[in-house]
Amino acid sequence: MASVIRGSDNFDSGTVGSTTVGDVGTYALLAASSYGARVAGTTVSGSNLKYANAYSSGSGNGNHNVSPSGTWRVMGNTGYYSGTSTYTSTQVYQTTVCVRIS
């Protein structure tokens, strides 16, 4: 079925949010830089988060040293973990998607 544009459904590319990393309204895969569960809908200061990899092991922890600016809303749940991985001696981070709200 073909798409039909009606009224204000103009899909104007000028109304799309920013795609610049870290801007308000953007999403990021972030990891908690401190222990404790993160619950969907709660807010977290960027200083308590780090940019995350989808997978990391050993010294390949990517951008875990970089914290985003601003305040972020957690969009998924993470569990609570307070130790190191069974397979490596590196810290395990709880990772989820977040959206910057300010």
How far, rounded to the nearest angstrom, does the alpha carbon of residue 57 sit from its chain's CA centroid? Answer: 19
- pLDDT 10s digits, 62-77: 555 788 999 999 999 8
pTM for this structure?
Answer: 0.67
Rounded CA-CA distance 86/102 in Å is 37
What does the CA dihedral 44, 46, 51, 54 come to, rounded to 10 degrees?
Answer: 10
Task: Give pLDDT, residue 31.
Answer: 85
State the burial class of residue 38 (Cβ atoms within 10 Å of its Cβ: 0-12, 13-18, 19+): buried
- pLDDT 10s digits, 17-57: 788 999 999 999 988 766 666 789 999 999 988 888 766 55
- pLDDT 10s digits, 47-63: 988 888 766 555 444 55
